[in-house]
Amino acid sequence: MLADDLNSFPTVPRLSGSDLTRLEQLLANLRERTGTFLGYPVAKDFDCSALAPFLDLPLNNLGDPFAPSTYQVDSREFEREVVAFAARLLRAEEDSWWGYVGNGGSEGNLYGLYLARELFPQGMVYFSQGTHYSVSKNLHLLGMRHIMIRSQASGEIDYEDLRETLRVHRDVVPIMFANIGTTMTEGKDDIGRIRRIFQELAISRFYIHSDAALCGFIAPFLKPRPAFDFADGADSISISGHKFIGSPIPCGIVLARKRHVERIARSIAYIGNLDTTISGSRNGLTPLIMWLAIRQLGEEGFRARVARSLEVADYACTRLQQAGVAAWRNPNAITVVFPTPAETVCRRWQLASADGASHLVVLPNVSKGQIDCFVADLAAGGCR
Amino acid sequence: MLADDLNSFPTVPRLSGSDLTRLEQLLANLRERTGTFLGYPVAKDFDCSALAPFLDLPLNNLGDPFAPSTYQVDSREFEREVVAFAARLLRAEEDSWWGYVGNGGSEGNLYGLYLARELFPQGMVYFSQGTHYSVSKNLHLLGMRHIMIRSQASGEIDYEDLRETLRVHRDVVPIMFANIGTTMTEGKDDIGRIRRIFQELAISRFYIHSDAALCGFIAPFLKPRPAFDFADGADSISISGHKFIGSPIPCGIVLARKRHVERIARSIAYIGNLDTTISGSRNGLTPLIMWLAIRQLGEEGFRARVARSLEVADYACTRLQQAGVAAWRNPNAITVVFPTPAETVCRRWQLASADGASHLVVLPNVSKGQIDCFVADLAAGGCR
Amino acid sequence: MLADDLNSFPTVPRLSGSDLTRLEQLLANLRERTGTFLGYPVAKDFDCSALAPFLDLPLNNLGDPFAPSTYQVDSREFEREVVAFAARLLRAEEDSWWGYVGNGGSEGNLYGLYLARELFPQGMVYFSQGTHYSVSKNLHLLGMRHIMIRSQASGEIDYEDLRETLRVHRDVVPIMFANIGTTMTEGKDDIGRIRRIFQELAISRFYIHSDAALCGFIAPFLKPRPAFDFADGADSISISGHKFIGSPIPCGIVLARKRHVERIARSIAYIGNLDTTISGSRNGLTPLIMWLAIRQLGEEGFRARVARSLEVADYACTRLQQAGVAAWRNPNAITVVFPTPAETVCRRWQLASADGASHLVVLPNVSKGQIDCFVADLAAGGCR
Amino acid sequence: MLADDLNSFPTVPRLSGSDLTRLEQLLANLRERTGTFLGYPVAKDFDCSALAPFLDLPLNNLGDPFAPSTYQVDSREFEREVVAFAARLLRAEEDSWWGYVGNGGSEGNLYGLYLARELFPQGMVYFSQGTHYSVSKNLHLLGMRHIMIRSQASGEIDYEDLRETLRVHRDVVPIMFANIGTTMTEGKDDIGRIRRIFQELAISRFYIHSDAALCGFIAPFLKPRPAFDFADGADSISISGHKFIGSPIPCGIVLARKRHVERIARSIAYIGNLDTTISGSRNGLTPLIMWLAIRQLGEEGFRARVARSLEVADYACTRLQQAGVAAWRNPNAITVVFPTPAETVCRRWQLASADGASHLVVLPNVSKGQIDCFVADLAAGGCR
């Protein structure tokens, strides 16, 4: 019997006409809505059409991408290439790193914090006010002690508050949750400076996780290069795949120092399994999506995307200011912040708002034309 | 400016010829490997071709599918229909349930246990020896006390051991993790019987989670109907989407009593957010995949799939026994267990093995012809 | 300048005549006292005269014997041979073990319990009533939860009490402290039987430490071979060097599964050091003493020592019984237990006593002549 | 029967010729290597030849040296004299102290910290950055809260940082771990000054442990006399025997206020034993080695050793500076610090290095001739 015969399943009933119509309608609506958002940090210029045939297969990247598996309908080889590309970009020392493609930046953060907890069960997590709310959810899930530190107006952590808070907790190992691009203002914590604070306080044991959801593939191309990666002292880093890189499915890359992961692996070994991922059964399509982006763009392609985004972000900020809007952005940021405009404008452009501020995230797909269009609309609608 | 113009991004560079070849080669390999596995509980007869166009869109089912969201490029309306279909099938009382489509059965179990921990922080989790190893991982993640209970040979929990163990821990609220189909033998714990044990011991507060990864869409159609769902007393249920239902991406449906989830929502409220899902950013494609299956098959379609699987499973068991193999299966199970055959046979059919036993999982796509082919191969290769 | 010149120190003043006399007197007294003890488990038939010249050197086996060291005045090469010999005897799998020569059985037990605590910080230690008091001291030092289990009259643990106690604590990982020869009666816990109890109770994670202070080099030569070593499931084993082997300085060998030790090593790495031993600066003479014994005797020499001891122990037991003393011993034990005799007899033969019982430990140096002499004395002095 | 007859054991087989050769080769190698180290704080000018005959005896200083013991093959009487000598030197009030000879400075520190934990289970340990890594290991073993305080360049603790840190933890009893000679620079913490800080902060309950591993027998002879001993307020003191005193076996003397030890004795009493030492079975040879040194040298002999060491240390510092090396030493220190020289020089003289610095420890056996030799070598090899 041939494999082909083995694949000849009983036919699945076809979708009814009305259902098909609903699906087509959804597609049309989504296309339209996709056109008009500027407020979410989600790139739209990806091309995954080459992956459509894979929708026929029961893909499953079971367990650790670097461990052998009996289940072979997977894309783990491509996943390893993706993770290796990111490891190089984030200056991990050769053979000293481990990672996988997960379901998004949030899972990557959960993973980093989980590693930190296994290493320092009594550790104290520090993170700034600008940190995404999902981090608090994760800390609650993991049952970790934590302290929220003040943010500066830029969204960057308030180093003085951090120093003073660390000072009164020098008996517990600090677990630093660093934002490499906060959600609202793209503020970046400087982990070099944070490590100098540790040094001043004679804190020799610590853990640093970089939440580089948005900026993981931006920061390596900036000048000056922000202090955020493995060479700068990070123990683990989380990057979103569906933000700056672009993906039809939320996904992310998480990287960590191998020796930390081996420590977890060992603690799981008693359970009789070496799976160090969080999910077990894992999406096999998203590694291909990431792989596609990496092969299509290469390091130079990403560099060009960053340059383009920065240029348009600068343009947007200037144009808004010219239009009388109190817009601003952090140095080298692609996020432009301004007072929340009228409700209608917010709805049309799907702007999120918090504490009276809204933002554009100028991803590589955003053109100056779109900015013009938005500024015109804003000028017409006025600020709230 | 029209939405169309807003969607005209700078073109993504095309994939190189050699990369394209690698991708085509992967596709070919995966197709071949898909043909020859019988040992994994993964249905192959799904048809998602209608969803290919959605791979162009930055879909993201952000947060709770039942809460409003400003991000509108999502399939949350379809997700709600999927969850509602499952709630009906699992006999949840109207308006008393909540749920979402997550990344697989493991996430569903994590969610159920998390709910239980929020309700009963000092609770003790009980689960049988046959439980999937990922549950121990999740319990470690959540920091929950737990006791492993003996299994019967069938894979069903040993009720006597459970009773005696509960008896010495009557001061802590039991959190029952029930297997509705263990990984190796498809043993099903009877939550009706478990509740009677609680009653005998005058235990009035408890939590029951049903891990119905494989059998969530099978058990409702069996006669007698196993005791496992909301009407039987479950507080939360996890079902895999990529097992019996079939999906190119691992996914799952998790359902829980609404009042439990509201309780979590409350405890998360101090974070300032009502997102009760684990991930935050969520896959928008898998709800469509589930929706497609549900609309294509309907309840009757699923009933027919179950009947067909049981028939072929019975055929497989008989044929193996006739060939001299000590095969067996639990009543109404689609899993056929037998002594682990020779290495070459295991590799060819991607059979997992544990403690000297292997199994076929007779999903709806498995035909009698394939069974014949397997039995012939086994007869030739011999048992280990 | 030559090394010889570098070694020409200013002369140390000589000892005064009276001090010299005191030292000579001590030596004479100790020689006499050595002759007349039968109640301590301390072999006297060793010959370390070849090591006298090493008393001139500042020996120090700094840190882990298997890690490189800049301090080179050590005997770590010989230490590794000693540990390897013991690993073979105790059936450790090749390349899967680690160990060192420490300051005695008590340090070995502390080390094993420390490893267990690092692996299972919430684990519960179980040990029998017959356990040496230093174990309680160590548990207090380490801050570990523990439960004392009843002993049988033989000194072996009461398996029924163990089972029932484990049953009510199935939510915490058990850390079994097994006696392979209790101090008073040389009762040996059967770790095979203990593991079967774990299995019955579906306890899949546990740690077993064998305190083989006296019997570590006896048990491997017994028929039937007691279940106590790595092949039987021990995670760590402690053996005294100054008991059955014989040494002028208390010492011991501790062995553990390498993966456990690596786990500790990693947790210490954050301190900036890979020293996994307890002491740091370590005795360099005792590894040479152990090495000497191993090279002088070899495996066959130890086998002969065991045979001789058992024969004389049997003789002693019989002779005492013939003399009307209610003496007994465990099967294959070299310890003969009897009611505590008169004070004068106890003092003369340095007999320890507890709960009305005393014992002879028939080490290889004990002759039938000595036994006769002791029995005669006892007969004259009578029992208390 | 005579004791002599009782001592006539069966003859131990002789060592084979090749083994004997290996032993002789080791001895020769060690002698050579001993000649060429200057970087380790280990005196070489001891003469223990008088103790060779004791290698024939099963010496064991079981338990507390001040409590009665039935095992009489010990040197506990001599041990008590050693401890008494040290107690006088360290100005313990008569009858108010207790101590024993243990396995080295590290055990002494463990003992002091253990005492402190028993007295103040919730106490916070403070120690400077220059503290030996084994202290962190011990704190981990004991499970004690601790804070590392900044060091000054000299290696002495930063009193300002200490004061500020104490200020924020005035609710927990401080346990001061004072270095009386740090490993790298021989920085000495001033416990008088530390007590004044306690006083300023109205901290009336505290514990001070002096780690005088190197300087325990140096500091009493210095002018001005450093504040470090019992009269200065220490609660326990640890001294190494194999550092300044000199010993072929690592050993140490630990001393503590008697009332603290009695408190531990009480807490151990429930175990049914009054053994307050850590080991139980203890080395009987090292007390004799210490006794020998004390009787050979007397207080005056030690005073002379200190004077000689200081003179040669001063000479070494000057000569290095003259040779253009940026050498320095703390006032009254025998440790000379300088930039780490070339690899070959480090290897030849067994120099340890940390953070780019190395050191000579000018023990009494080091002559000006050796210093000349080293400086010449360094000048030839150059600094790294």
pLDDT of amino acid A2: 43
- In this predicted structure, which of A120-124, A267-271, C210-214 has the lowest mean pLDDT? A267-271
Chains D and A share 3 or more Cβ pairs within 8 Å: yes
Residue A66 corresponds to which amino acid? Answer: F
For every residue of A143-197, DSSP letters joined together read T-EEEEEPBPTTSSB-HHHHHHHHHTTTTS-EEEEEEBS-TTT--B--HHHHHHH
- The answer to whether B and D touch (≥3 CB pairs < 8 Å) is no
Reference D257, options D208, D220, D290, D193; nearest CA is: D208
Q: What is the dihedral of CA A351, A352, A355, A360, to 10 degrees?
A: -50
Pick the closest to residue A69 from A311, A272, A330, A274 (CA basis): A274
For residue D145, give the nearest of A168, A171, A202 by CB distance. Answer: A171
Domain that holds residue D116: 55-294
Tens of pLDDT, residues D149-159: 999 999 999 99
Is residue C113 within 8 Å of residue C142, measured between CB atoms? yes
Question: CB pairs under 8 A, 24+ apart, for B88-93?
Answer: B89/B217, B89/B220, B89/B299, B89/B302, B90/B212, B90/B216, B90/B220, B90/B229, B90/B230, B90/B234, B90/B237, B90/B255, B91/B220, B91/B229, B91/B230, B91/B231, B91/B232, B92/B229, B92/B230, B92/B255, B92/B257, B93/B230
Residue D3 is predicted with a pLDDT of: 43
In D294-345 the beta strands, taken as DSSP E runs, fall at 335-339
Q: Mean pLDDT across the stretch D229-242? A: 98
> Tell me: the pLDDT tens digits for C258-306?
988 887 765 544 444 455 566 678 999 999 999 999 999 999 999 999 9
Q: What is the mean pLDDT of residues A28-47?
A: 88
Mean per-residue pLDDT, D40-52: 91
- The reply to whether residue C170 touches residue B151, judged by beta carbons under 8 angstroms, is no
Instruction: Confirm or reject contact between A177 and chain B (CB < 8 A).
Output: no
Say which of C167, C168, C204 has its CB closest to residue B148: C204
The C-alpha atoms of residue C193 and residue D109 are separated, in whole angstroms, by 41
- Specify the amino acid at residue B95: D
In this prediction, residues B78-88 reach a mean pLDDT of: 98
pLDDT of B159 > 70? The answer is: yes
Joined together, the tokens standing for residue D5 give 């007859």
pLDDT number for residue B10 = 63
| Chain A residues lying within 8 Å of D162, measured CB to CB | none
Range with the poorest average pLDDT among A160-164, B123-127, B263-267, D269-273 = D269-273
- CB A23 to CB B50 under 8 A? yes
For residue B151, what pLDDT band results from cuts at 50, 70 and 90?
A: very high
In chain C, which ranges are continuous DSSP H helix? 3-6, 17-35, 76-89, 105-119, 133-142, 159-167, 191-200, 258-269, 285-322, 343-349, 368-381
Amino acid D60: pLDDT: 93
Model confidence at C124, in pLDDT bands (50, 70, 90)? Answer: very high
Write down the pLDDT at residue C280: 76
CB of D348 less than 8 A from some CB of A: no
Q: How far apart are CA C88 and CA B99, in angstroms?
A: 57
For residue D110, being part of any structural domain is answered with: yes
Tell whether A18 is within 8 A of chain B (Cβ): no
CA distances from A283 to A13, B248, B251, B286 (A): 26, 8, 8, 10
Question: Is residue B183 in a domain?
Answer: yes
In the predicted structure, residue A235 carries a pLDDT above the cut 50: yes
* Closest approach of C204 to chain A, Cα-based (Å): 8
How high is the mean pLDDT of chain D? 91
Residue A89 has pLDDT above 80, yes or no: yes
pLDDT computed for residue A263 by the predictor: 74
Across the range A188-212, mean pLDDT stands at 97
Give the side-chain half-sphere CA count within 13 A for A334: 33
Cβ contact D340:D383 at 8 Å = yes
A248 in reach of chain B (CB within 8 A): yes
pLDDT (0 to 100) of residue A225: 98
Close Cβ partners of B88 (under 8 Å, ≥ 6 residues apart): none
Over residues C310-367, the pLDDT tens digits come to: 999 999 999 999 999 999 999 999 999 999 999 888 888 888 788 889 999 999 999 9
Q: What is the pLDDT, as a whole number, of residue A70?
A: 75
Predicted local distance difference test score (pLDDT) of residue C353 = 81
Task: Give the confidence band of B277 by pLDDT, cuts at 50, 70, 90.
Answer: low
Q: Dump pLDDT digits (tens) for D114-159.
A: 999 999 999 999 999 999 989 998 999 999 999 999 999 999 999 9
Q: Report how far residue A351's alpha carbon sits from residue D46's, in angstroms, rounded to the nearest whole number.
A: 81
The mean per-residue pLDDT over the stretch C231-236 comes to 98
Residue D147 at interface with chain A, using a CB cutoff of 8 Å:
yes
CATH of the domain at D147: 3.40.640.10
- Please tell me the predicted confidence (pLDDT) of residue A31: 94
Task: Inspect the interface and report whether the beta carbons of D1 and C103 lie closer than 8 Å.
Answer: no
Interface contact D95, partner C, CB < 8 A = no
* Mutation for C interface: B122, B128, B129, B147, most C CBs within 10 A: B147
| Predicted local distance difference test score (pLDDT) of residue A10 | 62
Q: How confident is the model at residue A131 (pLDDT cuts 50, 70, 90)?
A: very high
Smallest CA–CA separation between A171 and chain B, in Å? 23
pLDDT of residue D238: 98
D-chain CB neighbours of C52 within 8 Å are 49, 52, 55
Let me know how many helices (H) and strands (E) chain B has, helices first: 11, 10
Mean pLDDT for B62-91 is 92
Q: Which of D125, D156, D165 to mutate to test the interface with A (most CBs of A within 10 A)?
A: D165
Q: Within the 67-86 window of chain B, which residues sit less than 8 Å (CB to CB) from chain A?
A: 70-75, 77-78
CA gap C20, D295 in Å, rounded: 10
Residue A78 lies in a domain: yes
- Place A271 in a pLDDT band, splitting at 50, 70 and 90: very low
Provide the mean pLDDT of chain C: 91
Are C315 and C368 in contact by the 8 Å Cβ rule? The answer is yes
The rounded percent of chain C whose pLDDT value lies above 70 is 92
pLDDT tens per residue, range C143-187 = 999 999 999 999 999 999 999 999 999 999 999 999 999 999 999
Per-residue confidence (pLDDT) for residue A133, from 0 to 100: 86
Of A170, A200, A204, the CB nearest to D165: A170
Backbone angles phi and psi of B212, in degrees to 5: -105, 40
Mean pLDDT of chain A: 91
Distance CA A178, CA A109 (A): 10
D319-376 tens-digit pLDDT: 999 999 999 999 999 999 999 999 888 888 888 788 889 999 999 999 999 999 999 9
Average pLDDT over residues A100-113: 95
From the CB coordinates, do chains D and C have 3 or more pairs under 8 Å? yes
Q: What pLDDT is stored for residue D267 in this prediction?
A: 55
pLDDT of residue C72: 85
Q: What Å distances lie between residue D122 and B50, B358, C65, C384, D143, CA to CA?
A: 65, 54, 35, 48, 10
pLDDT of residue A195: 98
Enter the tokens of residue A135: 């981090």
More confident residue, B307 or A40: B307
Q: For residue B91, is it within any domain?
A: yes
What is the number of domains present in chain C? 1
Cβ pair C272:A121 closer than 8 A: no
In this complex, the chains that touch A, judged by 3 or more CB pairs closer than 8 A, are B, C, D
pLDDT of residue C188: 98
- Is residue A321, in this structure, part of any structural domain at all? no
Of C4, C142, C242, the CB nearest to D281: C242
Measured at the CA of D240, the angle between CA D237 and CA D246, to 5 degrees, comes to 145
DSSP code string of B203-255 = ----EEEEE-TTTTTTGGGSSSPPS-SGGGT-SEEEEESTTTT--SS--EEEE
Of A295-299, C170-174, C269-273, D23-27, which gets the smallest average pLDDT?
C269-273
Give tens-digit pLDDT for B317-371: 999 999 999 999 999 999 999 999 998 888 888 887 888 899 999 999 999 999 9
B41-59 pLDDT tens trace: 889 989 999 999 999 999 9
The reply to whether residue C202 touches residue B129, judged by beta carbons under 8 angstroms, is yes
Cα separations in angstroms, D118 against B181, D42, D280? 53, 32, 19
Is a pLDDT exceeding 70 seen at residue B172? Answer: yes
Has residue A4 got a pLDDT over 60? Answer: no
pLDDT band at C55 (very low <50, low <70, confident <90, very high): very high
Give the model's pLDDT for residue B270. Answer: 44
Distance (Å) from the alpha carbon of C201 to chain D's nearest alpha carbon: 30
Q: Give D364-368's long-range contacts (Cβ < 8 A, gap of 24+).
A: D364/C9, D364/C10, D364/D43, D364/D45, D364/D244, D364/D246, D364/D305, D364/D308, D364/D309, D365/C9, D365/C10, D365/D43, D365/D44, D365/D45, D365/D246, D366/D38, D366/D309, D366/D312, D366/D316, D367/C8, D367/C10, D367/D312, D368/D312, D368/D315
Question: Are the C-beta atoms of B235 and B117 separated by less than 8 Å?
Answer: no
Give residues 27 to 56 of C whose Cβ lies within 8 Å of D: 27, 30-37, 39-40, 42-56
Mean pLDDT (whole number) for D181-201: 97
| Neighboring chain B residues of C200 at a CB cutoff of 8 Å | 150
Nearest-CA distance from A317 to chain C in Å? 46
Residue A273 pLDDT class (50, 70, 90 cuts): very low
Task: Give the number of C-alpha atoms closer than 13 A to the C-alpha of residue A86, restricted to the C-beta side.
Answer: 32
Please report whether residue D353 resides in a domain: no
| Predicted pLDDT at A59 | 95
Q: What is the pLDDT of residues B182-197, one digit of tens each?
A: 999 999 999 999 999 9
Picking from A167, A168, A204, the nearest residue to D148 by CB comes out as A204
Residue D51 and residue D65: Cα distance in Å, rounded?
20
Whether B47 and B383 have beta carbons less than 8 Å apart is answered as: no
A373 interaction partners in chain B (CB closer than 8 Å)? 1, 6
The pLDDT assigned to A72 comes to 85
